[in-house]
Amino acid sequence: MRLTASSMFVLLAMVPLTALAASKQDKLCAPLRSFAMSVPNGQTKSVEFHTSWLSPFKDMDQATIGAFKRCDAHGSAAGKALCAYLMGAQNAAVEFAGNNVKRALLCLSPGTRFGPHYLLLESAEFHLSYGTSHRGSNVTLTFGTDTKIGGAIFVITAQGY
């Protein structure tokens, strides 16, 4: 295939659209965006998604092995819907739990792109805004090791504005 200046422009122009299309197709986006938009001005809500691969959480029988998930919506109705989605059998990664963070970034910031090489997140913190300049949330995505119950923890915190 021979690339000309005009065909390269078309290819480059399509890149953000493919990221946007991917986030529109990801079923995580709807409950995540609803959660972010549900937080009233001046309030803060969070969802904690816990995962553990091959070893149980600290409060479980330590002889058990498998893939484990827990989710705490802290009483938020929109957070409960997000937890329900994440707890679905095939809806969230457990072995490579950092992939959930990358998916959330693509949902809340559709122009975000990851390079062609595999990116393995072990710990991360991202701050972004979701919504309009007049109504939305400042969202913090935090991911790392959960020292309290074991495994990994992904915390989605939304502060409404």
- The tally of domains found in the chain comes to 1
Asked, for residue 113, whether it belongs to a domain, the answer is yes
Identify the domain containing residue 150 by its residue range. 26-160
Query: How far, CA to CA in Å, does 54 sit from each of 63, 147, 151, 154?
Result: 10, 16, 9, 18
Asked, for residue 142, whether it belongs to a domain, the answer is yes
pTM: 0.83
Q: Which residue has the tokens 């959480």?
A: 57
Q: What is the pLDDT of residue 24?
A: 61
Asked, for residue 130, whether it belongs to a domain, the answer is yes
Q: How far is CA 41 from the centre of its chain?
A: 22
Element (H or E) spanning 161, and its range? none
Q: What is the pLDDT of residue 157?
A: 98
Asked, for residue 71, whether it belongs to a domain, the answer is yes
Asked, for residue 18, whether it belongs to a domain, the answer is no
Asked, for residue 19, whether it belongs to a domain, the answer is no
Q: Are 143 and 126 in contact (CB under 8 A)?
A: no
Asked, for residue 153, whether it belongs to a domain, the answer is yes
Q: Going residue by residue through the chain (161 aa), what tens digit of pLDDT does each one get?
A: 444 443 333 333 333 433 444 556 899 999 999 999 999 999 999 999 999 999 999 999 999 999 999 999 999 999 999 999 999 999 999 999 999 999 999 999 999 988 877 889 999 999 999 999 999 999 999 999 999 999 999 999 999 99
Question: Distance between CA 90 and CA 16 in Å, rounded?
Answer: 27
Asked, for residue 81, whether it belongs to a domain, the answer is yes
Element (H or E) spanning 35, and its range? helix 29-38
Q: What is the pLDDT of residue 2?
A: 43
